[in-house]
Amino acid sequence: MSSLALPLLISAALILSAVLMPTLLRRAEPILVRVPRLAVGFHLGAAALWLLSFAAVSLALAWVLNGPQLLPTAYGRVCRACLEAASPFSVGVGLTTPLPVAVLVAAPAALLVVFLLLGMLRVVHHRRAVSCEYEAVRGAGRETSVLGHRVLMLPVQAPVAFSLPRGRGGIVVSEGLLAALDPPELAAVLAHEQTHLRQRHHLIMVLLSAFAAPLRTVPLFGTVVDAVPRYLEIAADAWARGLCGTPALAAALLRIGEHRHRPAAQIPVGSPAPLLHAAGPDRIAHLVAPPTMRTAWTPMITLLGLAVTLALSALLVYSPYVLALLRGCGVPV
């Protein structure tokens, strides 16, 4: 096998996955909606595998390219010894380029550090935005108990139900919600929102907005950013349906959905932080008439094949580096 074959194959798998996975994820939805929590994990895992494989291209190129020395002589010898110990190719095989090999090795780590730092800054911004929402809601509402749930009650006539993180307000409902829903329907909505809190869906939303949303220009990441919040809502629906029954939950979603175009001024929330809310008649179809899985198996199997390919690509590159480091790269102490 040519020394360039491995990085070229990984690059091809990356391009194929970035382009095909969004379509395959949509076509596999009839299966994924039946296991929404696994669907969330699959989407996030596919995005993480793609990033790992993307970084692996640079590390694989470091095995097959020879460039000028960038590090001081002693450190350069150690770096070269580690590369030769990790490389699956014969010593001396490769292409000569003007790019120092040390750059190829350091670039993935440097990009990871920058990516994590920027992500943490976005997490801080998100927390501030949620705190602003909580202050706005607390100033306009009052704490009370509804069907055994602690909630913040808003003096709003439209039926409103959403949740903030447990430490930032928890479940928020409106007076209009209590007036619009029967007790079984109200219980289903509260169970839905309580599921968001118990399963820590807000933490997933924070990670999504901080680390995946900035990469949404890549088709795979755009699909993940759009799909994960929907699957979180479906996961909350599934739990609420198990507790309160499908008719109560479907009726509640329909009633709330009828007012989804309410004037924004009625709701004292204006920050850009994403919300998890029990609204949307578009999910009722998944409750009362789930789509057939028959046509979804082929895209699902293809998705799994692409995910395994990405995982093997990352493993083929990272494991030799890890083993070489654990063995000391063959450098005398």
Statement to judge: residues 122 and 264 lie in one domain: yes
In a domain, residue 2? The reply is yes
Q: Which two tokens stand for residue 145?
A: 């108990």
Instruction: Check: CB of residue 201 under 8 Å from CB of residue 232.
Output: yes
Instruction: Check: CB of residue 82 under 8 Å from CB of residue 106.
Output: no
Query: 3-class SS at 277?
Result: strand
Distance CA 283, CA 279 (A): 9
Q: Which helix (H) or strand (E) holds 32?
A: helix 29-32
Contacts with 37 (C-beta within 8 Å, 6 or more apart), sequence order: 199, 231, 235
In a domain, residue 190? The reply is yes
Instruction: Check: CB of residue 191 under 8 Å from CB of residue 240.
Output: yes
In a domain, residue 122? The reply is yes
Question: How high is the pLDDT of residue 255?
Answer: 84
Domain residue limits at 68 = 1-99+292-333
Phi, psi of 314 (to 5 degrees): -65, -40
Burial class (CB in 10 A: 0-12, 13-18, 19+), 181: buried
Instruction: Check: CB of residue 190 under 8 Å from CB of residue 248.
Output: no
Q: Which helix (H) or strand (E) holds 153?
A: strand 149-154
Statement to judge: residues 162 and 237 lie in one domain: yes
In a domain, residue 15? The reply is yes
Phi, psi of 293 (to 5 degrees): -90, -5
**Taking every pair of C-alpha atoms in the chain, what is the biggest distance, in angstroms?**
78
Statement to judge: residues 94 and 173 lie in one domain: no
Number of domains in the chain: 2
Distance CA 37, CA 35 (A): 6
Q: Which two tokens stand for residue 85?
A: 């110990």
Query: 3-class SS at 80?
Result: helix
Distance CA 173, CA 154 (A): 6
> What's 212's DSSP letter?
I
Statement to judge: residues 39 and 85 lie in one domain: yes
Compute the 3-state secondary structure of the chain and give helix, strand, coil in percent, each to the nearest 5: 70, 5, 20
CA neighbor of 333 nearest in space, from 62, 28, 78: 78
CA neighbor of 163 nearest in space, from 128, 207, 205: 205
Distance CA 319, CA 86 (A): 9
Query: 3-class SS at 154?
Result: strand
Statement to judge: residues 278 and 152 lie in one domain: yes
Q: What is the pTM of this model?
A: 0.86
Instruction: Check: CB of residue 187 under 8 Å from CB of residue 248.
Output: yes
Question: How high is the pLDDT of residue 222?
Answer: 93
Distance CA 320, CA 139 (A): 57
In a domain, residue 111? The reply is no
Statement to judge: residues 177 and 203 lie in one domain: yes
In a domain, residue 107? The reply is no
Question: How high is the pLDDT of residue 131?
Answer: 81
Statement to judge: residues 210 and 169 lie in one domain: yes
Statement to judge: residues 165 and 274 lie in one domain: yes
In a domain, residue 108? The reply is no
Statement to judge: residues 182 and 259 lie in one domain: yes
Q: Tell me the pLDDT of the chain (333 aa) as tens digits.
A: 466 788 888 899 999 999 999 999 999 999 999 999 999 999 999 999 999 999 998 888 888 777 666 555 665 666 677 777 777 776 555 666 677 777 777 888 888 899 999 999 999 988 888 888 788 887 888 889 999 999 999 998 888 888 888 777 789 999 999 999 999 999 999 999 999 999 999 999 999 989 998 999 999 999 999 999 999 999 999 999 999 999 999 999 888 876 654 444 455 554 444 556 555 556 777 777 777 888 899 999 999 999 999 999 899 889 888 888 787 775 544
Distance CA 187, CA 146 (A): 9
Statement to judge: residues 148 and 250 lie in one domain: yes
In a domain, residue 234? The reply is yes
Q: Per this entry, what is the length of the chain? A: 333
Statement to judge: residues 133 and 56 lie in one domain: no
Distance CA 18, CA 12 (A): 10
Statement to judge: residues 185 and 298 lie in one domain: no
Q: Which two tokens stand for residue 193?
A: 């929102």
Question: How high is the pLDDT of residue 182?
Answer: 94
